[in-house]
Amino acid sequence: MAFELRKYLSEEKGFNLILRTMAASSSFSELPLVAVCQVTSTPDKEQNFKTCAELIREAARLGACLAFLPEAFDFIARDPEETRRLSEPLSGNLLEEYTQLARECGLWLSLGGFHERGQDWEQTQKIYNCHVILNNMGSVVATYRKTHLCDVEIPGQGPMRESNSTIPGPSLESPISTPAGKIGLAICYDMRFPELSLALVQAGAEILTYPSAFGSVTGPAHWEVLLRARAIETQCYVVAAAQCGRHHEKRASYGHSMVVDPWGTVVARCSEGPGLCLARIDLNYLQQLRKQLPVFQHRRPDLYGNLGHPLS
């Protein structure tokens, strides 16, 4: 195995101690185990798949029931034209390879951001940033198309114009039941919009997913803060698989994939470079926390109104 796992496994042992203290009623070894994969995608789709497949097989060997891949696990292109050229429909060859891999490993997969040619490809020549969930039989059980596109200019990080090649998704996806819990789907920039996470938890989510490719400037400033905030305010587990390192001469990503528990504690974290981290999901602890701190019973929607309008 080319990836260093000792650090990640030691962090899982630390998580073991946290869970035994905060949810002693649960048997640690019986809790669902999830794997969060960190990669450095390039424009080379074949090599990207080999890297992801190696991590997924390792996750299965370690006993995970579900493995999470980051946004753009399929590729990160140099420009919008290359993005369009490398994109595929969900019925294409690449997703079929992941379907076979899920069956081979008996593992659920969160494919965090697939460059999808949708049904309107011929008319628009633009793609969707699509989060795909495969079950352990390789069937597509959920798809979410990123609703908030990252069109920003950050000094020191370079401009990002996701809308040059991508169409925003039309709707949210209802949380999907998995062996780890009910998962609410989001992608990267979506984490800056708490309305989305609140909508997902009100629809039943127990785990929020933010597969990402955060930049080198916004990453150190905002990445962990936002993930912990989303976990605390929703009282959900948050799973964030991330791109890391330099993808090509035009782009690099921050990394630091992590899992945050409903109390806001980072319970698993990847170090530098490609690899994976592991975490146990304790839904009894989640329910206990929601009873002890019943914030959703205290909300005042009569006062807040519609918070989604742009600033005037």
Provide the percentage of residues in the chain whose pLDDT is more than 90.
80
Q: Please check whether the domain covering 33-293 is classified as CATH 3.40.640.10.
A: no
β strands within the chain, DSSP E? 33-38, 66-69, 108-116, 128-134, 140-145, 151-154, 158-161, 176-178, 181-185, 207-209, 237-240, 244-248, 251-254, 258-260, 266-269, 275-280
Q: What angle do CA 38, 41, 47 make, to 5 degrees?
A: 105
pTM above 0.85, yes or no: yes
CA distance 162 to 30: 41
C-alpha distance from residue 43 to each of 31, 57, 77, 247, 250 (Å): 37, 23, 5, 8, 12
Active site residues: 71, 146, 188
β pairing state of 108-116 and 66-69: parallel
SS3 category, 174: coil
pLDDT at 1: 34
Question: Which of 42-56, 157-171, 273-287 is predicted with the least confidence, judged by mean pLDDT?
Answer: 157-171
DSSP state letter for 74: S
pLDDT at 306: 65
What mean pLDDT is predicted for residues 67-88? 96
List pLDDT tens digits, range 212-270.
Answer: 999 989 999 999 999 999 999 999 999 999 999 999 988 889 999 999 999 999 999 99
